Structure 1
Amino acid sequence: MATKHLFFFAILLFSAASVFAEENPSLVMDYYKDTCPQAEEIIKEQVKLLYKRHKNTAFSWLRNIFHDCFVESCDASLLLDSTRRMLSEKETDRSFGMRNFRYIETIKEAVERECPGVVSCADILVLSGRDGIVALGGPHIPLKTGRRDGRKSRADILEQHLPDHNESMSVVLERFANIGINTPGVVALLGSHSVGRTHCVKLVHRLYPEVDPQLNPEHVPHMLKKCPDPIPDPKAVQYVRNDRGTPMVLDNNYYRNILDNKGLMLVDHQLAMDKRTKPYVKKMAKSQNYFFKEFARAITILSENNPLTGTKGEIRKQCNLANKLH
C-alpha cells in the first residue's frame, strides 16, 4: 500500500513538473527554426545593412543589451515609449546618449513581413546586439532565443539595478554579481568602452574646475579641446572617442589605454587600479582571445537574465508599444 502511495505521489510530482516546464520553458538555440526559420538571417542582414549606412548603430545594439537585460529582465522594456501612465526607460537620465531605437523598428518590420506575430522584440534586441558585436570586429556569440516581450517600463527601478560610471568598484562588482557575472566578466563587459564615444556631460567633472591628476597629462589637451565647456549642453555634439586608436573596433586596446591612465570615465580608471580587477585588465591587455572569451561568456549570462518565456509576456506588434488588450 505504501509503495502505491509513493508511486502515485511520484506521478503527481512528475505531472506538476511537466506543467511547470510547459508554462516556463527555457531559452533554446534556434527557437524559431520551425515557426520562422529565416528570422536570425533577416536580423543579421538588416544589422549589416544598417551598419553600412549608419556606423554608430552597432554601438547602439551593444548598449541596448546592457540597458535592457540588466534591469530585472531581458524583455525589451527599454524600447517602450512613454504613455500618460508610464515613463519610458529611454527618457531617463541613465539612458542619456542612447539612440537609433527607430532602427530596431526597421528590423522588426522586416521580420514581420516574413513571419507576422512570431518573433519578439526582446529576441530582436538581443540578436541585433550579437550581430552588432560582429560588425565591430568582436566575436560571434551563439545566443539562445525564445524570449517574450514585457508590457511595462522599468524606469522607476533603473537606479536600483544599473551600475553608474561614477560609483565605486565595489558597487559595480556587486551589481554585476547580482545577475551572475563575476569579476573577469565585469572587466570584459566594460571593454565595450573600446568603441563609440562618451559625451562631455559624463567627463567634465574630471576636467573642471581642475584636471583630475590621475589622467594621463598627454591625453588631457585632447579632452579639453573636445570638451571646452565646464557645463556642456547635453544636446550639443560634444564628445570624446573612447579609443582614439581603434574607435570603431571592439578590441583589447581599451585595456592598454586604461593602464596608461587614458580611461575617460571614473569607472575606467578604477577598473585599471582596483586590486580585484587589475589582474584581469592586465591579462586582457595582453590577450585579445582571453578578452573575447570572457566577453562572450558575460554577454551570454546578461542576455539570459530572467527572460519572459512560455505564456508570460507577449509578442509585440511594434517594439515601442505594448499590444492593446481587448
Structure 2
Amino acid sequence: MASIVALFLGWVLLFTQSGSGNALSLNYYEKTCPDVETVVTEAVKKAMAKDKTVPAALLRMHFHDCFIRGCDASVLLNSKGNNKAEKDGPPNLSLHAFYVIDNAKKEVEALCPGIVSCADILALAARDAVVLSGGPTWNVPKGRKDGRTSKASETKQLPAPTFNISQLQQSFSQRGLSMDDLVALSGGHTLGFSHCSSFKNRLHNFNATHDIDPTLHPSFAASLRNICPKNNNAKNAGATMDPSSTTFDNTYFKLILQGKSLFSSDQALLTTPKTKQLVSKFASSKDTFSKAFANSMIKMSSITGGQEVRKDCRVVN
C-alpha cells in the first residue's frame, strides 16, 4: 500500500510542476472512452504475436518521444515538405512498429472519435509492452495532448549511447528526472537489439592507450568484435541488449557488473558511488528494480507538452 501511495504522490507532484498545464489523471477517460486501455492492450498483443521485437520498439519510441518536447507524440509525425520530422532524425532511424500505434488509434477512434490523444495511446502501449514481456505494471495517468511540432534537428537532444555519467545526469535532470530515475530507466535496455554503430566506439580505437574499452569483459569484447569488425558497415549487424532480450527482467544490471553491457552509457552507471549502488541493488532484486522502473516511468511519461488530439497520429489536424 505504501508504494502505491508513493507512486500516487510522485505523479501528483510532477503534474503540478508540468509546464504545459495539461492536468493528467488516472480516470481521465472514465466517462468519455472507458475501454481505451483494453483496446490498446489488444493491439499490442496482436502485434507481439507476429513480432517479438515490438515491446522493445514501443518502449524506446515512448522514451524518445518524451525526451524531446515532452510526451506529445511528436515522434509519430511524418516529415512534410521542407520539415524533416523527429522520426527521420539520426537516432530515430531505427525506430519501428509505428503501425501498432496506428492500429490502436484506428480502433480507439471507431469507439470514441476525437477523444484520446496519440500521446496517451503511446504511453499505454509502452506500459503494455513491459507487462506483456514479464515486467511490472503501473497505472498510466492520462490526458496528454498531441504536439504540432516535430523536428529531426531536435533529436540530438536525446541521450547518446556514448554518454558518460555527467552527460547522462545533465540530460535527465533537464527533464526533471533524478539519478535514481536514470538508473531505473536504463533498465529498459533489458529489451531489444542494438546496431554496431551504437557500441563500436568501445571495440576499436577506444582511446590513445587502448584499442578496446578495458572495462569490457575480454571474451565479451572478442565476441562483439567478431560481430562488428572494424571496417564492416553491414547495416543490420549488431547484438541483443542481453541474452533474454524479449523478457523484461533485471539481467541488464547483472551484465553491467560483469563488464558485459553494450553501451558506454551502461558502463557509465558504475562510475559514481550512488549509481553503482543502485546497479548492485537492482541486479540483486528483480522486484526492487520493477518497482523503481514503474515509478520512474510514471514520472517520465508525465512530462507533457502538446496542444491537440490528433485524428491521425502521423499528421497534425
> Do these two structures clear the TM 0.5 threshold for a shared fold by scoring above it?
yes
State how far apart, in whole Å, the 2-side matches of 1:302 and 1:24 are: 16
1:319 match: 313
Mapping of residues 43-192 of structure 1, within 5 Å: 43-159=40-156, 161-192=157-188
Superposed, which structure 2 residues align to 1:226-305 within 5 Å?
226-233=227-234, 236-244=235-243, 246-305=244-303
Equivalent of 2:27 in 22, 30, 55: 30
Rate the CA distance shift 1:258–1:230 in 2: closer, same or farther, 3 A.
farther
- After superposition, the C-alpha distances for 1:86-113 in whole angstroms (9 at most, x for unaligned) are 1110111121321111221111111112
Residue 219 of structure 1, CA deviation: 0.9
The one-letter code sitting in structure 2 at the alignment partner of 1:317 is K
Whether the aligned pair in 1 keeps the contact of 2:53 and 2:192 (CA below 8 Å) is yes
SS in 2 for 1:240: strand
Q: Deviations over 1:165-223 (max 9, x none)?
A: 21221121121112222112110100111111110111222112432222101212321
What is the identity percentage for the equivalent residue pairs of Structure 1 and Structure 2? Answer: 35
CA distance in 1 between partners of 2:230 and 2:133 (Å)? 31
Determine which structure has more spread, i.e. the larger CA radius of gyration. 1
Q: Distance in 2 between matches of 1:280 and 1:175?
A: 19
**CA distance in structure 2 between the aligned counterparts of 1:36 and 1:75, rounded to whole angstroms:** 19
Deviations 1:273-315 (A, max 9, x none): 333310111111111111111111111111010343xxxx221
Kindly report the root-mean-square deviation, in angstroms, between the aligned alpha carbons of the 2 structures: 1.6
Residue 4 of structure 1 is matched in structure 2 by none
Structure 1: how far apart are the matches of 2:22 and 2:146? 15
Gaps of 5+ in 2: 1-19, 206-210
169 and 316 in structure 1: CA distance in 2 versus 1, 3 angstrom threshold: same
Q: Kindly indicate whether residue 217 of structure 2 is the aligned counterpart of residue 216 of structure 1.
A: yes
Structure 2 Cα separation of the partners of residues 297 and 241 of structure 1: 26
The farther-off stretch of 224-233 and 83-92 is 224-233
Structure 1, gaps ≥5 residues long? 1-22
Structure 2 distance, partners of 1:180, 1:322, is 27
Query: Is the deviation greater in 253-262 or in 170-179?
Result: 170-179
TM-score, normalising length: structure 2 = 0.88
How far apart in 1 are the matches of 2:251 and 2:22? Answer: 40
Q: CA deviation at 1:229?
A: 4.5
Equivalent residue letter for 2:143: G
| CA-CA distance at 1:25 after TM superposition | 5.0
